[in-house]
Structure 1
Amino acid sequence: MKTQEIVNNSCNEQEENKKTDFIRQPKQTRSMETKEKILKTALRLFCENGFYKTTTNEIAKQAAVPIGSLYSYFKNKDMILLKILDDYNQDFIDKFDKLNIGENIDLSQNDKKSWIKITIEMLIEIHEETKEFNLELQALYHSMPEVYEIHNIHDLKIKERIIKEFEYFKDELKTTDLEVSAIITNDIISSIVDRIVFTNSPISRDRIINEGVDVIYKYLFC
């Protein structure tokens, strides 16, 4: 319970800090487009050159935005990164939530192996689309406390959603501790995704996915 309270407090503090992270909140279409251009350019440069080798001057130049305009939206390069990470995590959560809609709910009830496989394949697709960004984040987790904290909060949200999924068929689960089961299931899926996306495995992705699905299914239901 204490750990949960600490994480919740961190979430609240982060939301409070966001109020001062961005100096200017664009309302007009042109201003919103300028801010989006800064974010897209920064993301590309972070992926190509790395976060620490990218400067705000370079971001502004590549985005064709005056450096003064960049600083009117973001205090510094760190705030640009954190906004990109926040948007990325929200997009991730939105796509994860779609697994709960319509036919996917029925699928999770009637064909659990297929539902597990769809989940894994969806996560692989997301990570492949942002492979370079994820690689850069892995390095930043250990050097930027803010990135590490956002990562922990994101993991908490994923865990909560997995627990919610388990609630649909909790009477069929062989495990009784949904929180721990959610963590273990997420760790297994993350390992599968990381191996497929970030390593050159001599084993085909289908073999890895299918075996991973069997492991998760047997852990939860057999």
Structure 2
Amino acid sequence: MPQVLKEEVRNSILNAAVKIFREKDYNKSSMNAIAVEAGISVGNIYRYFKNKEELFDVIVKDLAEKIMSVMDRCKCGESIDDVFILLKECISDFIDLYSTNEDVFIILIKATDQVKTKYNVEKAMTEYMSKSLNEIAKNFCRKNDMTDEDLENLCMTLSTSLTKGVNYIILSNGGVEDMKRRLFNYLDFMRIGFIENVKLH
């Protein structure tokens, strides 16, 4: 088969997989449905991709790496305000990526708990936020005699909550501007909660 035709078939499989993953979610998608959408046999898909997991990884790789690069640039803040300012900068960059990769972005977010992949951006985001919150939480913990283990547990719990909230808003209906407004409102609300907690204790 000529190389140009091979690339056409491969791209047809990828485009079909994006459509099926977006419509049905990763767990409910089958290689058979992707083959039907691409207009080829299931056996032909396996000439290009060894399984559904590999197909998913190929689809999300570029976007996931860009998202993780954004988090690397944001680094950690030293105060509550710093953390949430940096989070807003991250969110703005995420929204830009979403605007140009909407289908893949949604596939990546929705499939986090469904597929074993090295491109787990939800896990990376949770760890990034946990690290950012750690220094702030130490002040709270010193006043409450909290152990390092309890501190780590608290930070991971708060970070998971923040990440799930962000992902929920991304997956909710509405345009990009509505999403941005909702995300910033959510971050402002969470920031006020953190500040009040530290003040009270």
Following superposition, the deviation at residue 41 of structure 1 comes to 3.6
TM-superposition CA deviations, 1:130-154 (whole Å, max 9, x none): 465257537xx4xx5xx1x449965
* Contact 2:109/2:167 (8 A) holds in 1: no
**Structure with bigger RCO (C-alpha 8 Å, 6+ apart):** 2
* Counterpart in the other structure of 1:137: 111
* Contact 2:13/2:38 (8 A) holds in 1: yes
Which of 178, 181, 196 lines up with 2:155 in the alignment? 181
Number of residue pairs matched by the alignment? 175
Please list, as runs of the form range in 1=range in 2, the aligned pairs for 1:1-222 lying within 5 A after superposition: 35=10, 38-48=13-23, 51-52=28-29, 55-61=33-39, 70-85=45-60, 88-100=63-75, 108-109=77-78, 111-112=81-82, 113-123=84-94, 129-130=102-103, 132-133=106-107, 137=111, 141=113, 147=115, 149-150=116-117, 155-166=122-133, 169=135, 173-175=139-141, 177-195=151-169, 197-198=171-172, 205=182, 206-219=184-197, 222=199
The runs of 5 or more residues in structure 1 that have no matched partner are 1-27
Following superposition, the deviation at residue 199 of structure 1 comes to 5.2
Question: How many angstroms apart in 2 are the aligned matches of 1:173 and 1:121?
Answer: 29
Following superposition, the deviation at residue 162 of structure 1 comes to 3.1
The runs of 5 or more residues in structure 2 that have no matched partner are 142-147
Following superposition, the deviation at residue 43 of structure 1 comes to 0.9
Question: How many angstroms apart in 2 are the aligned matches of 1:117 and 1:98?
Answer: 13
TM-score, scaled to structure 2:
0.56
